[in-house]
């Protein structure tokens, strides 16, 4: 079963597609309330999206959708491979 932040990251990927390239993602407090999780969980999920290149955080300037969705699949596969390697190393 995926971790809570991984489930939220899946939801955020869909949201990023709706928001569109250059659009601003909702603030973390709003996302935490929407999904019923802590801001820490949202931060972990957003970290995955940043690693994939889907979003760019601008500190107090918010988080914006950063790249073309066509590139997302390749980046997501690479991120999943790195995550699997880390999990294997921790076993």
From the candidate CATH numbers 3.30.70.1140, 1.10.10.10, 1.20.1090.10, 1.10.3720.10, the one assigned to the domain spanning 4-90: 1.10.10.10
pLDDT, one tens digit for every residue, the chain (91 residues): 789 999 999 999 999 999 988 899 999 999 999 999 999 999 999 999 998 888 988 877 789 998 665 566 666 777 788 888 888 898 8
Q: Give the number of other CB atoms < 10 A from CB of residue 58.
A: 10
Contact by Cβ (8 Å): 27, 60: no
The predicted model scores a pTM of 0.71
Listed residue (9, 4, 13) closest to 66, CA to CA: 13
* pLDDT of res. 74: 63
For tokens 């928001």, the residue is 19
CA–CA separation, 36 and 90 (whole Å)? 29
Q: Where are the domains of the chain?
A: 4-90
77 burial via Cβ count (<10 Å: 0-12, 13-18, 19+): exposed
């Amino acid at each position: 079963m995926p971790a809570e932040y991984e489930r939220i990251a899946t939801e955020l990927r869909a949201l990023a597609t709706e928001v569109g390239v250059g659009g601003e993602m909702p603030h973390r407090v709003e996302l935490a309330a929407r999904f019923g999780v802590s801001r820490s969980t949202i931060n972990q999920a957003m970290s995955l999206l940043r690693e994939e290149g889907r979003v760019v955080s601008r500190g107090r300037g918010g988080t914006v959708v950063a790249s073309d969705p066509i590139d997302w699949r390749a980046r997501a596969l690479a991120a999943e491979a790195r995550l699997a390697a880390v999990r294997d190393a921790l076993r």
